Amino acid sequence: MATRKILITGGAGFIGSHVVRRMVNRYSDYHIYNLDNLTYAGNLENLRDVELKPNYSFIKEDIVDGEKMQSLFQKHNFDGVIHLAAESHVDRSISNPMDFIMTNIVGTVSLLNAAKANWKNFDGKLFYHVSTDEVYGSLGEEGFFTEETKYDPHSPYSASKASSDHLVRAYHDTYGLPIKISNCSNNYGANHFPEKLIPLAIHNIKNSKPIPVYGMGENVRDWLYVEDHASAIDLIFHKGKVGDTYNIGGFNEWKNIDLIHLLCKIMDQKLRRAEGTSAKLITYVKDRAGHDLRYAIDATKLNKELGWKPSLQFEEGLEKTVDWYLSNEEWLNHVTSGNYKNYYTEQYEKR
Ligand code: NAD
Ligand code: DAU
């Protein structure tokens, strides 16, 4: 049987590295090409255990470079794309929107163009775009985001992801490009860059530094273990309907402040500190501009049509995550040295 060539973009990032690892390990008859330009969020240390596998290759390129994408598609004749490369952090999008426009919108279009131009006919081809629930905007106290919820993005990040979703659908409707899209809720787990709430709080608690909680900590997020997101992507890539959208989420809503209290409790136990020690670090800081109040995904379609459900309860996943960070000090030290310090000062010093 001929090898299936799959291009995964953003495979050195948080979610991408879990998707790459899963695909390389499960599908020895696929060749996985991981294309990533290694921004601050891309880290090949995330992939040490697969880098020598014969069905894995790494390509360091920028998806915004349209000519380069065309020549890579010509050279490798990929059968499928799982597109995860993106600028992903909302706070950075507030201070520097242009990077998000370039990578998330222009970069997505340059990949779509390369697929459209090089896939002679679309038989057996697939462009799978990985997106976020933030495109749907913000919920009040009640209700869920379904696949039919109208787009209403508020941050430059979510607006750029919404644009990319629309463009992927436009290439399907206009040119017949075979596509699938998934919109997922907040992920957590190993290899999460410590600019995001959970790894940032773990890092700060470990170092007895303040835990910055935006506003009053009343905002709600719906948390999913990253390996459950990777399993959903695998399932949708193989079994989902071409042209369709699938929402992915764990029916696991937490107010930020409640989540932080749970994390403090786990950290006190793991670090053998007296109960209540970590919670003393909680510091309320100026709110994020345009901060969405609540996200909650209705993942019924994915469950009913494809039989997916998350494998882990939140407390178990959070404990596994804490264990990973505590036993991967070197990883954490590497990613929090250098530019991270400047980022942290800019975001938090005057907050
Ligand atoms: P991340 O920031 O950890 O990783 C992004 C990766 O993309 C990095 O490896 C980076 O080097 C690479 N990249 C960025 N710009 C690039 C460019 N121009 N060319 C090539 N590579 C580039 O992001 P993540 O949290 O792993 O998110 C991955 C995808 O999943 C994104 O599309 C994001 O919108 C989506 N998503 C994330 C979450 C979440 O909770 N983190 C939830 C739902 C959807
Ligand atoms: O919903 C999916 C999205 O989840 C993804 O598309 C994004 O790529 C990902 O970054 C994430 O976005 P959030 O903005 O929800 O994640 P973040 O970890 O930045 O923040 C989670 C919540 O915690 C949010 O309400 C803001 C708050 N927060 C965040 C940080 C970094 C704090 O209170 N303090 C902080 O220091």
Q: How far apart are CA 279 and CA 153, in angstroms?
A: 33
Task: Report pLDDT for 1.
Answer: 62
Quick: pLDDT tens for 98-118. Answer: 999 999 999 999 999 999 999
Ligand 1 pocket, residue 132 CB under 6 Å: yes
Contacts by residues 342-348 (CB-CB < 8 Å, ≥ 24 positions apart): 343/40, 343/92, 343/195, 346/95, 347/91, 347/95, 347/195, 348/212, 348/285
Ligand that lies nearest to the alpha carbon of residue 93, given by its number in the listed order: 2
Annotation says 133 is catalytic:
yes
Q: What percent of the chain has pLDDT over 90?
A: 98
- What is the whole-number distance in angstroms between the Cα of residue 196 and the centre of ligand 2? 6
Instruction: Tell me how crowded residue 133 is: count the other CB atoms within 10 A of its CB.
Output: 26
* Average pLDDT value over all residues in the chain: 97
- What is the whole-number distance in angstroms between the Cα of residue 136 and the centre of ligand 1? 18
Ligand 1 pocket, residue 64 CB under 6 Å: yes
Q: Which amino acid is at 21?
A: R
Residue of 90, 155, 157 with the most ligand 2 atoms within 8 Å of its CB, for mutation: 90
End-to-end CA distance of the chain: 58
Residue 299: pLDDT band (50, 70, 90) is very high
Quick: pLDDT tens for 175-200. Answer: 999 999 999 999 999 999 999 999 99
Q: How far apart are CA 132 and CA 145, in angstroms?
A: 11
| The pairing of beta strand 30-35 with beta strand 4-9 | parallel
Quick: pLDDT tens for 42-66. Answer: 999 999 999 999 999 999 999 999 9
Q: How far apart are CA 160 and CA 167, in angstroms?
A: 11
Residue of 92, 161, 221 with the most ligand 2 atoms within 8 Å of its CB, for mutation: 221
CB 237 within 8 A of CB 201: no
Quick: pLDDT tens for 275-284. Answer: 999 999 999 9
Q: How far apart are CA 231 and CA 243, in angstroms?
A: 20
Q: What is the pTM of this model?
A: 0.98
Give the pocket of ligand 2 (CB within 6 Å). 88-90, 132-134, 185-186, 196-197, 200, 212-214, 219, 221, 256, 288, 295
Question: Domains in the chain, ordered, with CATH?
Answer: 4-192+223-252+291-311 (3.40.50.720)
CB 260 within 8 A of CB 211: yes
Atom number of ligand 2 nearest to Cα 288: 26
Tokens at 198, concatenated = 């959970």
